[in-house]
Chain A
Amino acid sequence: MALTEMTRRTFSKLAGMATAAAAVGVAGTSSLRPTEKAYAEDEVVKQKTFCRACPRACGVIASIQNGRVIKLEGNPDDIFSKGGMCAKGLSGIQALYHPNRTKYPMKRVGDRGVDNTWERISWDEAIDMIAKAMADMRDKYGRNGLLVTTGGGGNPRIIDSIAFRDYWGAGNVFEPGAAQCAMPRTFVQKQMDGWLGFTSIGDQQCIGCFNPKAPVDCFVQWGGGGAASSSTITARFWNELRDRGCTFINIDPRFTHDSARADIWLPIRPGTDVAMMMAWINYIIENEKYDEEFLLKWSNLPFLVNPNDPGGLLLRSDEVQGLDDDKGRGYVYYDTVTGKVTKAFAMGPDNEDTYNPQLWGEVEVTLADGTTVTCKTAGQALKESVADWTIERASEICWCDPETALKAVEAFADSKYGGVGNGVSHDQNIQSAECAMCTTLLNQLKGNTCRPGVNAITPRFKGQYETGRERGRFTYSMSYDGRGFFNPNVDDDGNPRGPYIEMPAVVERLGYIEHKGLGDWKHSQIPAVYDAIMSGEPYQPRVWYERSGNKMVTLADSSSWVAAFKKMDFISHTYMYPTSFTFEAADLILPATEWLEMDYNPGNHGDCNGFIVACALLFEDVDDRLIYGTIFKKLADDYNDPYAYNVYYVDKEYYTIRERDQYLQDIAIKGMTWEETKAVNGWRNSTEEEFWDAFEYEQYKQVDDDGLYYGMGYKGLDYTTWAGDIEDNPRKNQMYCDRIVYIGRHGEDPLGELPPASQDYSPVPFFVEPADYQEEDTRTKYPLVCSNGRLPYYHHSTLRNIPFLRETYPVPEIWIDPQSAAERGIETGDWVNIKSKRCEEQEIIKDGIYAKAFVTPGIVPGCCYMERFWNPEFLEEGQDARKSWTLCNYNVLSRREGPYNPVMGTYTLRSINIQVTKADHAPEGVWTQSEQFEPWMPQPTDSTGGGYVA
């Protein structure tokens, strides 16, 4: 085939350059280990699989010939991607056969951040290094020094990192995303509306607006670059949505494809979203554009607020005279028919006529102690919290045109099935939780829960095949365990299991008590982890297991972490290729599988089901899921670890890298071998027509076995929507988020009561300026407000080493408006120098970073957008590896320091203040020309069977 021809050609041309390959890895086309050929000579086999260049996991058909993957095309059976593939997915072969793949475990020779020299070791030696480091730490200091990190860009199975820490019994987990990506949006929304239909644009959520059969008449794309995040799915569905006549509103500082096709583009200053959202909420309440019946019947807005509670908790029935003898503590409301303060109850067809609550205003209430107080309804409290937020005031703060803002809110307010979708930009500011709260409020005010629009819930068909279940009890925390689903401490039959993470370790999780939203994913707060590493307080993290791409590009203020690495006893890095983090931090490298080498279930895709399956297995690569089991077995066998012994030998939660066959057999379709499973992979359970027809709406009106409506946050597909002390659940949503106040004081951890945070979380939204902008000195010295975004060619920090992608987007762009550019003498194509306050604080980046200017009217004047970037070319032999992340990397400019979001602990990745000047020279050594990427062209090799075989 021509690919191999091309590669031979490329390779012969490259023969003289073999020594120019990276210091890490071994260039060459020979396999490390011969395997028995399991294919017919020259036959082309088409294998259905799924892409994992990003979480959207589009259906793919891989052509395999003589054991090598030679072509990728889309699977037309996937009704989301419909046979489309984007530039990221189409780069799968260049990623798989990249000459700089990490091919086997290697340990560092020399010093972190100085030497980039590595020595090949066996898998057994590598596993022993990790186990020994963990055991030494355990013996000298205790278990809580373990730090496990991962990231959604580089790791498809981020939950495994949490499980590893939990089975070990203590320690910390973080992702540069998480509290900065997805978690705030999903956490806050589910505390409030309780339903699984998320509004997150970038995560294959927000599906309600895709359904061609749904009468969605207005969609607000608020701060999520849908077309760039997901060219194959979101971009296409939104094109079709607009073609169907839906009014499309795009709110984004930069002018994108979606802005250009929107009916209204509302550009606002990065980080000020909550100001505009509160003005929209105010507008809708003031102009009575809300769905009154929905608010009365299904929301908690009629419930009364306790005026004696400093944090604004709702009044409990046992605090009210006459209701204090009622069985079961509940919320209370004022009934307009009976004229009485009444305990709220769950409605059913037989009792709903007796529920006539007052929505707005104040009520006199006699408390159990005989005193009388005036209580606002929650609706009234919400209304007052936004009362000062006019469109004019918000527009002034957001640097936008008030007429456009008004036009936008009017279109949304007047729609019948209008919905608001949100994106990662909201999670990358210190107002992450409030952005999510406001988005939820806007949807709820319009009654948009389980309705046609963003929040619709995907139908689930009975599977054509039943797939097997892999070992392990992997759970997130608050969403599931709190309700007793998937309780990690009992087995399927309810029998208690062995040692697992326990209470003291949970409270010790860094930053968790202060920012309890982190409990959603059992994470720690990144700045709290940093502070602990640097100060040793409250304890010293010591052993770091990192499994993703390039932390230097994804952590805020990343150059400050170089000092932190020095404080760690041991750091290992598992990834497909070396990154800046490897050079700066790692003592050990482990080779992970590319998506064309993996086997796992990425979840259903529309109604196309199946596995990502290994189409090749190169070098000594292994699925990282099996590495964890191998470490536990080593800890049990050689280091006398009771947790590990229990995990591996008693509960049998893991596989080792020698047990891949067992893993495959366990996950395979029941009654089939893995080979048979692969043959039917990518199957459909319904037709496209059936899939869209099967959407159901208003599930909360279904009557359950007890004769009552499902309501909000009751059971089935939903989450808890009442505070932990409420015994009589009225099944209402939490538009006034009493629940989040309660979580701040008590937590909601499956392992028990937590100490309170130092300040109450707010049940209603509030606005604060972005952190840099709050500082007058900072915004004077660095006057431009900078955000970043998403391109269709890269996912987070990935793929910057793919030759065809780099030749088309070789260096990061920074967008700057014509006036700001003219003031600085900057023209399109100029190299510019960019600095933030962090350049004063961090010696390594004192000279700032570089990008190429695009002078465009497509950005809010006074604001910039810069793409995240790093330069793997500096990891080539003879180069200064540090420059791979210091020359063109936006995130060295972003802000780790507080203030933080109270609920989530989010720090500042976007909406930082910067200064831009015309650079007097191009940054030396950055590859910009096509031919420079030649050393990275693929070098196909035969499959070896991976590192699974001894």
Chain B
Amino acid sequence: MSRYAIVVDLDHCTGCKGCEIACKNENHLRLGEHWNRLMLCGPYGDFPNLSQYYLPFMCQQCENAPCVEVCPTGASYRDPDTNVVLINQDACIGCQLCMSACPYGAREYDEQENVVKKCTLCKHLTDQGEKPFCVSVCSVQCRYYGDLDDPESDASKALAAKPDAVHTLFDEGNKPATAYLLSEKYCEWHDTPQGHDTNDNNALASFANPA
């Protein structure tokens, strides 16, 4: 079976927000819509002994995806070929149960269309053999996409290169498949980070205080 996901190397991520803008451009998101967000975690410690990392986050492609489980219409589903969690917009009734179920605030309700939307790992591009846009355009090439069950994929190779640095967001049994690489020499990993961003983004608050 295939398990497609993104691996982000936080040793390298500089917090430029290029991925945030790239995602909005590519997926034609409106103002206020974000399928990919970025926040500063830290600085931790006391001056001048500090550490920090930037954390970009989007749908974590959970193995036990609660959003799929709670969906009353089957609109939230798993792609049988890639295992990617997707939303069938035609079947979505906008009930937003999935949004309550998602631990990471990765889904957004589109008021105008009465549907819920989220990161598709740029299905329209990956179907054509391309990478998700946030991966191909990343300023520092710190995002890796691929099948985690294929040891030759970019994502698997990135994980194999830093086996001691692999982390996931906090896990409530949902088993997020998206992985983050953060070396201990740079910063301690925080399951529930103390986040900071420059805009008033409600999702950050929900993410920082999981249920």
Contacts and interface: CB of A to CB of B under 8 A. Distances in A.
Interface string B107-150: 00000000000000000000000000100111111100000000
Contacts of B199: 807-810, 930
B52 A255 contact: yes
A265 B48 CA distance: 8
Nearest to B183: A261
B53 interface: yes
B24 A804 contact: yes
A236 B21 contact: no
Given A260-B53, A934-B31, A86 B198 contact: no
Nearest to A70: B25
Contact of A857 (B20, B25, B45, B133): B45
B171 interface: no
Interface string B1-41: 00000000001111111101110111010111000000000
B174 interface: no
A344 interface: no
A232 B139 contact: yes
A74 B52 CA distance: 28
A93 to B, nearest CB: 7
B141 A82 contact: yes
Given A231-B14, A793-B17, A807-B31, A85 B22 contact: yes
A896 B50 CA distance: 35
A257 B54 contact: yes
Nearest to A803: B31
Interface string A201-231: 0000000000000000000000000011001
A653 interface: no
A257 B17 CA distance: 13
A91 B21 contact: yes
A236 B200 contact: no
Contacts of B187: 260
Interface size class of A (residues with CB under 8 A): 35 or more
Contacts of A856: 43, 196
Contacts, number: 149
A857 B21 contact: no
Residue of B14, B32, B187 with highest tally of chain A CB at under 10 A: B14
B31 A931 contact: yes
B46 interface: yes
B186 A84 contact: no
B51 interface: yes
Contacts of A931: 31-32
A817 B196 contact: no
Contacts of B139: 81, 84-86, 231-232, 235-236, 792
Interface string A258-280: 01110001010000000000000
A84 B141 contact: yes
Contacts of A235: 14, 16, 139-140
A228 B30 CA distance: 26
Interface in A345-367: none
At the interface, is chain B mostly helix, strand, loop or mixed? loop
A6 B137 contact: no
A84 B47 contact: no
A640 B210 CA distance: 76
A861 B46 CA distance: 11
Interface string A132-169: 00000000000000000000000000000000000000
Interface residues of B, number: 43
Contacts of A73: 133, 136-137
A828 interface: yes
Q: Chain A contact residues: over half helix, strand or loop, or mixed? A: mixed
B198 A807 contact: no
B14 A854 contact: no
B31 A3 contact: no
A808 B37 CA distance: 10
A329 B43 CA distance: 59
Contact of A90 (B25, B198, B200): B25
Contact of A87 (B17, B52, B142): B17
A2 interface: yes
Interface in A533-567: none
Interface in A735-765: none
B199 to A, nearest CB: 5
Interface in A864-904: none
Given A236-B141, A933-B31, A86 B16 contact: yes
A849 interface: no
Contacts of B18: 84-87, 90, 231-232, 792
A239 interface: yes
A828 B25 contact: no
A311 interface: no
A87 B31 CA distance: 15
B15 A792 contact: yes
A595 to B, nearest CB: 16
Given A86-B16, A87-B18, A817 B47 contact: yes
Given A858-B43, A928-B200, A261 B140 contact: no
Contacts of A807: 31-32, 199
Interface string A56-89: 0000000000000001111000000111111100
Interface of B: 11-18, 20-22, 24-26, 28, 30-32, 42-43, 45-48, 50-54, 133, 136-142, 186-187, 196, 198-200
Given A71-B25, A73-B133, A261-B11, 20 more contacts: A6-B30, A84-B18, A87-B17, A87-B21, A90-B25, A227-B14, A228-B16, A231-B16, A232-B139, A235-B140, A236-B141, A239-B12, A239-B140, A260-B43, A260-B51, A807-B199, A817-B47, A852-B198, A928-B200, A931-B32
Instruction: Give the 8 A-B residue pairs with the shortest CB-CB distance, closest first.
Output: A231-B16, A930-B32, A231-B139, A792-B16, A930-B31, A857-B47, A227-B14, A257-B14
29 contacts: A5-B28, A74-B137, A84-B140, A85-B137, A85-B139, A87-B17, A87-B21, A227-B14, A232-B139, A235-B16, A239-B140, A239-B142, A255-B50, A257-B54, A260-B50, A260-B52, A261-B11, A265-B50, A267-B48, A793-B17, A804-B21, A807-B32, A808-B17, A808-B20, A809-B199, A817-B47, A856-B196, A857-B50, A929-B200
